[in-house]
Structure 1
Amino acid sequence: MPTQISDITHAIQLAVAPVFLLTAIATLINVLSGRLSRIVDRRRVLNGRLAAGSPTEPVADDLEELALIDSRGRLIYHAMFFAVLAALLVCIVVAVAFLGAMVAFSVAKSVAALFIFAMLSMIVSLALFLREVFLVVKARSQRWR
């Protein structure tokens, strides 16, 4: 009986480290969600201005900004997809590792593969986020000229 409790305790200890990773991924998803909300809000403003035919800004500028917003929205959406995928993979890693400890079969290769896929997904998410930030910075620097 003590061996089983120590095995469970060890499995829980191993499962705690990926939980910290889930916290980081959740924070990233929150940031991406905030950026996507701002993109949607700005799109609504521009579409409203175009529909009203407001003469305050040239239509070409609004259309150019809408194209930029579309690109940004796609990048953020895909970044969110890969961040959520990474979170799901980390959850599966925890479940498989815990199950492996309870059923006593080797899950090392499965856990390693899932963790690698989770990290690759996270890398893709961060790269897409970085690309979106570069788009914003580039657009703003061109507007200030």
Structure 2
Amino acid sequence: MELTSDVVNILTMAKVIQTAVAPVFLLTGIAAFLGVLSNRLARITDRARLLDRKLNASLEEALHFTLTQEMRALLKRSRCIHIAFSMSVLSALMVCAVVVLLFVSHLYTWPLGITVSSCFIAAMLLLIGAFVSLLAEVMLATRSMRRGMIFKDIG
């Protein structure tokens, strides 16, 4: 039995869809990671607003110094989260590009293997950078706790 061109195209398209499923699962993981980053940024923002109110109400110089130090630490942490967020979104965009390029390559029979591979490698490198940036933020948060900026009264 000979397969017609349409059947072969459908089977080939099915393989392309199967190939595109793995990057789509990766998008789900990146979306979950973005949720974690959003929650951490929200906590940092809430803490910064509280400290800002305390700073504006404080006349005591020692307390003002301590609060300013903690605000600086929060700013550093927010920068790390911002970097992680940006890299994660760029990674997701690269994954989307991989999926699109897989289909374009099939539809127009363009040899885009190197382009698809490059986009996927870029996505992974960006995701690695995002995880490293999150790790840096967690280390800053831990350092702040160890310095006693957050848990001063616990002894």
How does the TM-score come out when normalised to structure 1?
Answer: 0.95
Cα RMSD of the aligned pairs, angstroms, is: 1.4
Which residue identity lines up with residue 104 of structure 1 in the other structure?
T
Amino acid at match of 1:107: L
Gaps of 5+ in 2: 1-5
Tell me the SS of whatever aligns to 2:26. Answer: helix
**Which of 82, 86, 99 is equivalent to 2:104?**
99
State the secondary structure of the residue aligned to 1:105.
coil
Which structure has more relative contact order (CA 8 Å, sep 6+)? It is: 1
Decide which of 45, 52, 55 is 2:57's aligned counterpart: 52
| Match among 73, 78, 83 for residue 78 of structure 1 | 83
How far apart are the structure 1 equivalents of 2:142 and 2:49? 21
Q: Are 2:95 and 1:90 aligned?
A: yes
Percent of aligned pairs with the same residue?
36
Q: Does 1:32 align with 2:32?
A: no
- Within 5 A, what are the aligned runs for 1:1-145? 1-53=6-58, 58-143=63-148
Name the TM-score, length of structure 2 as normaliser.
0.89
- SS of structure 1 residue aligned to 2:110: coil
Point out 4+ residue stretches in structure 1 off by more than 2 angstroms: none
